[in-house]
Amino acid sequence: MNGGYVAYTAGLESLGIRNVREVYWNLTTPALYEAAIRRYEGMVSHLGPFVFRTGEHTGRLPKDKFLVQEPASRDKIWWGAVNQPLSPEAFELLRRRLLAYLQGKDLFIQDCYGGADPRHRIPLRIITERAVHSLFARTLFVREKDRSKLPHANPAFTILHAPDFRADPAVDGIRSEAFITIHLGQGLVLIGGTAYAGEIKKSVFTILNYLFPPQGILSMHCSANFGASPKETAIFFGLSGTGKTTLSADPHRTLIGDDEHGWTDTGIFNFEGGCYAKVIRLSAHGEPEIFAASQRFGTLLENVSLDVDSRRVDFDDASLTENTRSAYPVHYLPHAVEDGMGGHPKQVVFLACDAFGILPPVSRLTRDQALYHFLSGYTAKVAGTEVGVRSPEATFSTCFGAPFLVHPPKVYAELLKKKLEEHGAHVWLVNTGWTAGPYGEGRRIPLSTTRAIVHAICDGSLAKADCVEEPFFGLRIPRACPNVDTAMLFPATTWNDPERYRGQARKLAALFRENFARFGTDVPADLADAGPRM
């Protein structure tokens, strides 16, 4: 193969990689298409996207993710259910067994960066046994535009990705055949037993969540865009399904990135060079820009249904998973900024999909409320999204990204407080979920309504509105918002049964307080007062 085949393992010996068959370094997108097709890793669909399936695992495996308890980092890590410990001895055994497995295999390597800001970007090396995952890395992370520098790349972190290697729990001391293990001291990540590409992406995010906060950089699970200039930057925190990607891809604003960013002393920067959008039931009408980006050569469609005869995809088909994904370069969106950089945010939006029908469509938060809701990271699961979920379930993900935090939550909360105070950003809580009743009874807040709210936030007009304080959460609700039905702004008035609304509000408030109590003395005691009132 031209333009990337190397018959030796230069630069790999230090990792213990030996006796592999062929090594393909930094192949271009067309070359990776060719390699993936020859290896039967997927199919090219109508208009050019490459469609592949991940097999058994179609989402992340948080219970199979481990951090090594090694001297350089162990005293800094938020140990527990999120960051499960693995002994250095177990990691070394797994590494040796993985290296033995790779002997005789072809390898695909991409040298890239985590972070668009040249002052802070982290050199990465992604080594995969499949061409399609090398294409994913090339698509998602920041590319080195000067290819003459690639042979001299010196990675700070390396990811070894071998989905066809399965661990032996009895031998390796882990939970299952799949694993994501991160050794922060060695700068090495091992992934095996799962072909879900999101594990590569989120491993890098975990690394950046460890490296950046000690440098005074707030790492954030958020999308970002700006208006007429980078001085009008807005960021959108939110968990999957809350609208983070959709709302940031606004044709009237310039997109910085859709998922992960850092906030420095000069502004914000995208951690990635691509987008990884959830595309179940994607339509040209609802999300035209993401739909168009998902119909291009160079885009990867993960677990999206494909008609093998016509080669047309069906975004409505959830037979494989609800978590269908489209990975594409961010510049495929017509309103994306090329350098992935923005100014200090003027507007900070927390997105919550409230299936209880209690939170208002928009409310303005005080500084303490902002920290409270940041630490809470609330959204809700609804029936059908997960096995066993029959009614709305509250979900709290600390800092809107608990599975990827490494330091204790207060580290990120204190950084956010510092940034908000320094730059005077307004903070808003926006509910993209239900109104006039809970899921199954009420109705979903229309996307057009949420877009109108976000436009009013970003143009500054909503900050001038008078507010009314609601009684359960102490949230300040604007009396009016341009292009939004005023009655919809006040959830209590949309329910047919006021007493049932109050009962549901008390229930949700209790869940908030119960969740926040688990922080104990790790957060200031008076911060709990910024939460709901019982």
418 in the same domain as 296: no
Domain count along the chain: 3
Q: Which two tokens stand for residue 63?
A: 């219970």
What is the CATH number for 287? 2.170.8.10
What confidence category does residue 4 fall into, taking pLDDT thresholds of 50, 70 and 90? low
Same domain, 317 and 369: no
Amino acid occupying residue 103: Q
Sheet of 300-302, strands arranged across = 43-44, 50-52, 300-302, 325-329, 274-278
Catalytic residue from among 45, 53, 58, 60: 60
The verdict on 11 and 160 lying in the same domain is yes
Active-site annotation holds for 485: no
| pLDDT at position 387 | 41
221 is known as an active-site residue: yes
Same domain, 428 and 493: yes
Contacts 24+ apart (CB under 8 A), 477-482: 477/360, 477/362, 477/363, 478/362, 478/363, 478/364, 481/362, 481/452, 481/453, 481/456, 482/452, 482/455, 482/456
Catalytic residue among 181, 194, 242, 245: 245
Residue of higher predicted confidence among 187 and 525? 187
Q: Band of the pLDDT at 3, cuts 50, 70, 90?
A: very low
Nearest Cα to 495, choosing from 442, 425, 433?
A: 442
Q: Which residue has the tokens 């310039």?
A: 254
Q: Which of 53, 201, 325, 419 is catalytic?
A: 325
SS3 content of the chain, % helix, strand, coil (to 5): 30, 25, 45
Using CA atoms, how far apart are residues 108 and 128, in angstroms rounded to an integer?
5
Catalytic residue from among 201, 244, 253, 381? 244
Cα–chain center distance at 157: 19
Chain segment 420-431, per-residue pLDDT in tens:
999 999 999 999
Mean pLDDT, the chain, rounded, equals 93
Regarding whether 160 and 18 lie in a shared domain, the answer is yes
Q: Hey, what are 247's tokens?
A: 């709302």
- Cα 435 to Cα 489: distance, rounded to the nearest angstrom: 9
225 located within any domain:
no
**What is the rounded CA–CA span in Å between residue 432 and residue 441?**
16
CB atoms within 10 A of CB 168: 11
**Residues 327 and 351 reside in one and the same domain:** no
Active site residue 203: no
Tens digits of per-residue pLDDT, 227-259?
Answer: 999 999 999 999 988 999 899 989 899 999 999
Same domain (yes/no): 136, 78: yes
Residue 532: which of 514, 414, 361 has the closest Cα? 514
> Is the residue at 265 inside a domain?
no
Count other C-beta atoms under 10 Å from residue 18's C-beta: 12
Q: Is 127 helix (H, G, I), strand (E, B) or coil?
A: strand
**Residue 307 pLDDT grade (very low, low, confident, very high; cuts 50, 70, 90):** very high
259 is catalytic: yes
Residue 247 domain-assigned? no
**Shared domain check, 351 and 328:** no
pLDDT of residue 5: 45
- 45-68 pLDDT, tens per residue? 999 999 999 999 999 999 999 999
Over residues 83-124, the pLDDT tens digits come to 999 999 999 999 999 999 999 999 999 999 999 999 999 999
Q: In this structure, are 500 and 369 located in the same domain?
A: yes
Q: How far apart are CA 70 and CA 433, in angstroms?
A: 42
Q: What is the DSSP letter of 498?
A: H
- Check 29, 240, 321, 385 and give the catalytic one: 240
Tell me the C-alpha distance between 188 and 181, whole Å.
Answer: 8
Q: What is the pLDDT of residues 71-88, one digit of tens each?
A: 999 999 999 999 999 999
Q: Does residue 6 carry a pLDDT above 70? A: no
In which band, very low, low, confident or very high, does the pLDDT at 534 lie, cut at 50, 70 and 90? low
Report CA-CA distances (Å) from 108 to 5, 125, 159, 197.
9, 10, 12, 15
Strands 23-25 and 122-128: unpaired
Q: Comparing 153-157, 280-284, 406-410, which segment has the lowest mean pLDDT?
A: 153-157
Give me 235's structure tokens: 């960021």
pLDDT given at position 350: 98
Q: What is the mean pLDDT of residues 269-286?
A: 95
Q: Does the residue 254 lie in any domain?
A: no
Distance CA 489, CA 309 (A): 48
Boundary (domain end) residue, out of 167, 186, 215: 215
* Mean pLDDT score, 208-228: 97
202 is an active site residue: yes
Contacts of residue 387, Cβ cutoff 8 Å, sequence gap at least 6: none
In 445-490 the beta strands, taken as DSSP E runs, fall at 467-469, 476-478
> Which residues 6+ apart lie within 8 Å of 514 measured at CB?
none
| Full DSSP string of 260-321 | -EEE-SS-EEES-SEEEEE-TT--TTTSHHHHHHTTSTT-EEES-EE-TTT--EETT--SS-
**244 catalytic, yes or no?**
yes
Active site residue 529: no
Phi, psi of 175 (to 5 degrees): -80, -35
DSSP SS3 for 411? helix
Give the helix/strand (H/E) hosting 89. Answer: helix 88-102
Q: Which of 53, 202, 261, 373 is catalytic?
A: 202
For residue 222, being part of any structural domain is answered with no
Residue 172 lies inside a defined structural domain of this protein? yes
Out of 65, 221, 261, 419, pick the active-site residue. Answer: 221
Please indicate, yes or no, if residue 387 is contained in any of the structural domains.
yes
**Is the predicted pLDDT of residue 493 greater than 50, yes or no?**
yes
What is the domain extent for residue 302? 276-332
Q: What is the DSSP string of 173-226?
A: -SSSS-EEEEETTTTEEEEES---THHHHHHHHHHHHHHSGGGT-EEE-EEEEE
Is 278 noted as a catalytic residue in this protein?
Answer: no
Whether residue 533 lies inside any domain: the answer is: no
Query: pLDDT tens-digit profile of 358-386?
Result: 999 999 999 999 999 999 999 997 644 44
Q: Residue 491's domain is classified under what CATH number?
A: 3.90.228.20
Is the confidence at residue 454, as pLDDT, over 60? yes
pTM above 0.85, yes or no: yes
Q: Assign residue 67 the CATH number of its domain.
A: 3.40.449.10
91 and 63 both lie in a single domain: yes
- At 523, list the tokens: 């957060």
- Domain limit, last residue, from 332, 357, 376: 332
Average pLDDT over residues 156-181: 96
pLDDT at position 522: 83
Residue type, 516: F
Check residue 389 and give its pLDDT.
Answer: 44
- Residue 336 has phi, psi (to 5 degrees) of -95, 140
Of 215, 244, 268, the residue at which a domain comes to its end is 215
Q: Which pLDDT belongs to residue 417?
A: 97
Which percentage of the chain shows pLDDT scores above 90?
Answer: 88
Same domain, 406 and 435: yes
In this structure, are 506 and 383 located in the same domain? yes
